[in-house]
């Protein structure tokens, strides 16, 4: 599962057929890795959280440490 379809239809709006098609794995392989739907959803949420946190950390690093790092010389706030 990746973000596109889940953002449009929600987690429950994505069926197993879409997951299999998108992942390119056999149903039996998917069920070996994820015995229950909840395990697949938890893995998706962990991956999404990891990606989101990485983006936030990158943005924070680009923003700098202090308030002056967030403003341009003309006083307009950046980021």
Tens of pLDDT, residue by residue over 37-46, are 889 989 989 9
CATH number corresponding to 3-62? 1.10.10
At 32, the pLDDT band (50, 70, 90 cuts) reads: very high
Q: Assess contact for 14 and 6: CB atoms under 8 A.
A: yes
Using the predicted structure, report yes or no on whether residue 20 has a pLDDT greater than 60: yes
- % of the chain surpassing 70 pLDDT: 71
Using the predicted structure, report yes or no on whether residue 31 has a pLDDT greater than 60: yes
Q: Assess contact for 40 and 34: CB atoms under 8 A.
A: yes
* Structural domain spans, the chain: 3-62
Using the predicted structure, report yes or no on whether residue 1 has a pLDDT greater than 50: no
Task: Give me 48's structure tokens.
Answer: 């999404």
Using the predicted structure, report yes or no on whether residue 29 has a pLDDT greater than 90: yes
């Amino acid at each position: 599962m990746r973000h596109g379809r889940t953002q449009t239809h929600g987690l429950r709006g994505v069926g197993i057929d879409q997951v299999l098609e998108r992942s390119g794995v056999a149903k039996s392989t998917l069920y070996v890795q994820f015995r229950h739907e909840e395990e697949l959803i938890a893995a998706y949420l962990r991956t999404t959280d990891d990606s989101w946190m990485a983006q936030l950390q990158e943005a924070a690093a680009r923003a700098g440490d202090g308030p002056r790092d967030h403003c341009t010389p003309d006083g307009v706030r950046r980021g």
